[in-house]
Amino acid sequence: MSQNIPFLINNRSEYTNFNYQFDYLTVYTIISALYSIPTVLITLIQISFYFFKFKRDLDILKPEIFASFLIMQCSNLLGLLFEFLTFRIPMTTIWTSWCASGFHPNIIKCILFSFYFWYSMREFSTLLFFLLRVVCLYPSIEQLANPLFRILLFIIFLLSIALSYPRLDDPMGCIQIPHPYKFGAVVISLTPDNPDNVVSSSFSPSKIRFKRGKNTISHNDSHSYTSIYGRFDDIA
């Protein structure tokens, strides 16, 4: 099948027998992971400070604001982790043979479910953080910050599960992505019911999804290709 069209690689012999080779895309993935390490370390220090040294009776920094900020940070970092597991690492071809074997559907489902869950959590937690900041600006409603934080945190957790759980029933697997990526570069994604169906896609470093048909799916950043039959932008 042409590499200009995304397709499912499950049980294809050319992929199950694929041999990984170290290349520039692996270097790029490693470097992009390394510059996230300082953020992870700083977040861990902040979490330690919040639980062991933070004095909640001080008015300098509201505990609800601090807690919502940490939840937002953790959601972003976990979202980044599952973005790597869903897109960036598979694109290096290091998982291609493993993906093509088709013996690990539950692991693939867990990875993609977690990606959707943390994607939702980081969006909602950002809204929660800024909402609480606005509440604390007004002394007349400032006392509502604590109950709002507890209630809304529970709601956004349930919403994130509700938005992600239906994906577990959808067919999913590893998809060969088209030019300019090389043979063996895959992503974990939803797939059509029939593995032989051609799928079209909208791709970005933070989002990819597939559907049947020939219509282009709208995208939310500049790094995407407009049509599986047209010109591809540089998305590497």
Instruction: Give the whole-number percent of the chain exceeding pLDDT 90.
Output: 39
pTM above 0.85, yes or no: no
* CB neighbour burial string for 70-102, b if at least 16 within 10 angstroms, e if fewer: bbbbbbbbbbbbbbbbbbbbbbbbbbbbbbbeb
Task: Please determine, for residue 202, whether its predicted confidence score (pLDDT) is greater than 60.
Answer: no
pLDDT mean across residues, the chain:
78
- Asked whether the beta carbons of 128 and 68 are under 8 A apart, the reply is yes
- How confident is the model at residue 58, as a pLDDT? 64
Closest CA to 78 of 115, 110, 39: 115
How many other C-beta atoms can be found within 10 angstroms of the C-beta atom of residue 15? 23
Residue 1 three-state SS: coil
Question: Which amino acid is present at 167?
Answer: R
| Tens-digit pLDDT profile for residues 7-54 | 788 878 888 888 888 988 899 999 999 989 999 999 999 999 988 887
Residues 208 and 189: beta-carbon distance below 8 Å: yes
Please name the residue ranges forming H helices in 18-165.
24-34, 37-52, 63-83, 89-91, 96-100, 105-135, 145-164
Task: Name all domains of the chain by residue range, CATH numbers in brackets.
Answer: 7-190 (1.20.1070.10)
Nearest to 118 by CA among 70, 166, 167, 160: 160
Q: Which amino acid is at 43?
A: T
Q: What is the mean pLDDT of residues 134-145?
A: 86
pLDDT tens, 204-236?
Answer: 433 444 443 333 333 333 333 332 223 333 333
Cβ proximity of 91 and 235 under 8 Å: no
- pLDDT at res. 195: 44
Locate 6 and state its tokens.
Answer: 């995304």
Residue 203 has pLDDT above 90, yes or no: no
Tell me what percent of the residues of the chain surpass a pLDDT of 70. Answer: 77
CB atoms within 10 A of CB 49: 12
